[in-house]
Chains A and B, each alone.
Chain A
Amino acid sequence: MVSAGEIRGRDLRHRFSSGARALDGIDVELGPGDLLCVVGPNGSGKSTLLRVLAGLLVPDEGEVVLDGRAVRSLSSAERASRMAVVPQSLAGLPDVRVRDFVMGGRYAHLGFFGRHAPEDAEAVDRALADTDLDEMADRLLAELSGGQRQRALLARALAQGSGLWLVDEPTTSLDVEHQVRAFELIAEICKTGRSALVVTHDLNLASQFATEIALFDRGRVAARGTPGEVLRREVLEPVYGPHLSYGTLETPGGPRPFVVPFPDGAARARLDGGPGGASTGPGGGG
């Protein structure tokens, strides 16, 4: 069963033991159907926020409420059945077959001594199919490429059947095709009434898929809004610097801003083929 997928963090503050401020008064809220992309430079507090929301790190101040209950008051199993965490990579590489690895996502649902019911196996099969891993189900995880392993992590979260996804840089080692498919998968999940918070460096994928973007800078939310509101020169330049060019892509779903790393704001874009077109300008899509 899929739970509600509502999470709220209020005035989250955290310092590392070195004294560096990681989170400096962050408010965050996600409801069913939301896909919030958290973007920002390295060290701006994105991954720390994800760990705090996941209940893996206790913030110095502030509280996280998941589906109406304080996340720290939930047991590990309760948390896992409501919220799936997709890490960027694993601290170790389990020496298991892909199917068994994905079954790990069902842990909170398993019976005594890891006994699993038919619906657990079905959930795993579905997750493997949805991530194009069904043909690799019996291979060892170590035999997969970096991108395939990334998809195995997504498959495991899918099998978990949680209402909320917290995803840390899901496209790091994926090719362009699978980057889009990873985001499509997350967007599909959100369309079924679940919600996702995705930490990413890819501003254009965020533009394409996010219902909302939060721009982080030095532990604070520098800007928050729709892609059109955030991916603008006057918002991004104070955070990322001047080396970006901005444009707008006309898509069937409406105009979408895009940002490319090119150190000349006067660069002009011309898109080849396709039904839409692109325009660039100093202001970008606003």
Chain B
Amino acid sequence: MTTRRVPVRIAVPGLVITLVLLLLAGIYTGTSGGLTTGSPLRGLLASMGLAEPLPEPDQTILRLRLHRTLVAAGVGGALALSGAFLQGLFRNPLASPSLIGVSAGSGLGSAVAVLIVGGYGPDFVSGLGSAGAHAPVLVTAFAFAGALAAAFVVLRIAARGGRVSVPSLLLAGIALNTCLAGALAALQAWTLRDYEMHRAILTWTFGTLEDRHAYHATMVWCGLALSALTIPFVAVELDLFAGGEEDAEALGVHTRRVKLLAICAAALSAGCAVAVAGQIAFVGLVVPHLLRILTGTSHRTLLPLAILGGGVFLLSADVAQRLFFGGTAMQPGVLMSLVGGPFFIYLLWRERRVMEAW
């Protein structure tokens, strides 16, 4: 018999309050450092039109940092939500957008879109100009399509008789990640002579929170909000998926609709996150996993909390690396791999007895 952990179930309202306070603290810390005049709070209120702006250049610095913090929180929330959807759908705590290839599908989609719009030039960054005007939407749309295609391929390969086994899921993820990485590498090799294009595609591969604009924040939060709209229609249903798809169907769950909704929502949130910040691994694995240990498996609490928890997680990581590493800013994708990789190894180590039975 496998050893079972005693679940640490803590009160959800307490956790929500803690996460909201941490999120606010993260936004404040992330925007306030190094300002020479006035209070950061005034600057934040000013950016919402509620106070007099700070003297320049402080207000501009604060605005740019605010974009970065909002993007970090949105991307973290979107990735964690995507992970929570996928873990519920695959009935598997090891599913996450990066492990099963959804992030890679999204990254390849983004890279193709960057190639189509002709690179990551000033027009694209500003979102202005004839070619650039629709570029962010195009990149997001391609990222979403790539994520959706990857999710369906994995589901198709790994599911058998309504059941997704852990090895088949992970092997499908490895296979898909390998294929997508190969395609992305081929794309990079092909664009090697075009420095700007190559740099733009490479940026997505690493993931970045630098130079983020208001429309980046808008895009990721809109994607996240749309994705979150599905929560009331899939949360209870995903709880019932725990006993198997056929069992859920017999209890009255429209399983095909729930699967479709959950996959689209997971692909949309992961797609938006990758489109604005590139591939950032492990947020989607770690955050829902920790929340499940803390609050239990009910998706009615897990899914909304994943948004909050993911936001706090990535924002804290970004703020911490800026505070502690200062000028040598590390890409969030690299940082998350450095943090998330060991965590994944720890998960595998802890679950090794269970895995012997796979």
Contact = CB atoms under 8 A, between A and B. Distances in A.
Interface stretch (B45-53, B73-81, B187-195, B232-240): B232-240
Interface residues of A, number: 31
Given A96-B297, A114-B236, A90 B249 contact: no
A213 B7 CA distance: 46
A59 to B, nearest CB: 16
Report which residue of A51, A79, A104 has the largest number of chain B beta carbons within 10 angstroms of its beta carbon. Answer: A104
B118 interface: no
A100 B243 CA distance: 13
Contacts of B243: 90-94, 104
A90 B297 contact: no
B239 A90 contact: no
A108 B251 contact: yes
A188 interface: no
Interface string A105-126: 1011010111000000000000
Interface string A129-142: 00000000000101
Interface in A68-85: 75-77, 79-81, 84-85
B249 A107 contact: no
A95 B247 contact: no
B235 A113 contact: yes
Contacts of A91: 162-163, 243-247
Contacts of B239: 94, 96, 104, 114
Contacts of A80: 250-252
Given A80-B250, A107-B236, A92 B300 contact: no
Contacts of B236: 107, 110, 113-114
Interface residues of B, number: 27
B297 A107 contact: no
A105 B251 CA distance: 6
Report which residue of A81, A107, A108, A142 has the largest number of chain B beta carbons within 10 angstroms of its beta carbon. Answer: A107
A91 B296 CA distance: 20
A54 B249 CA distance: 10
A93 B92 CA distance: 11
B242 A95 contact: yes
Nearest to A110: B236
Interface string B198-239: 000000000000000000000000000000000010011001
Report which residue of A51, A87, A95, A105 has the largest number of chain B beta carbons within 10 angstroms of its beta carbon. Answer: A95
Contacts of B235: 113-114
A77 B249 CA distance: 9
Contacts of A96: 239, 242, 296-298
Given A94-B297, A113-B300, A142 B4 contact: yes
Nearest to A54: B250
Report which residue of A81, A85, A94, A110 has the largest number of chain B beta carbons within 10 angstroms of its beta carbon. Answer: A94
Contacts of A84: 250
A51 B254 CA distance: 16
A81 to B, nearest CB: 7
A235 interface: no
Contacts of B297: 94-96
Contact of B246 (A56, A81, A107): A56
Nearest to B256: A76
Contacts of B242: 92-96
Contacts of B250: 54, 56, 79-80, 84-85, 87
Nearest to A112: B232
A229 B242 CA distance: 42
B253 interface: yes
Contact of A76 (B7, B91, B232, B252): B252
B89 to A, nearest CB: 12
B255 interface: yes
Question: Ordered nearest first, which 7 A-B pairs have the shortest CB separation?
Answer: A91-B244, A80-B252, A94-B242, A108-B252, A114-B236, A85-B250, A90-B243
27 contacts: A56-B249, A76-B255, A77-B254, A79-B250, A79-B252, A81-B252, A84-B250, A87-B247, A87-B250, A90-B244, A91-B162, A92-B242, A94-B243, A94-B297, A95-B296, A96-B242, A96-B296, A96-B297, A104-B240, A104-B243, A107-B240, A107-B251, A108-B251, A108-B252, A114-B235, A114-B236, A140-B7
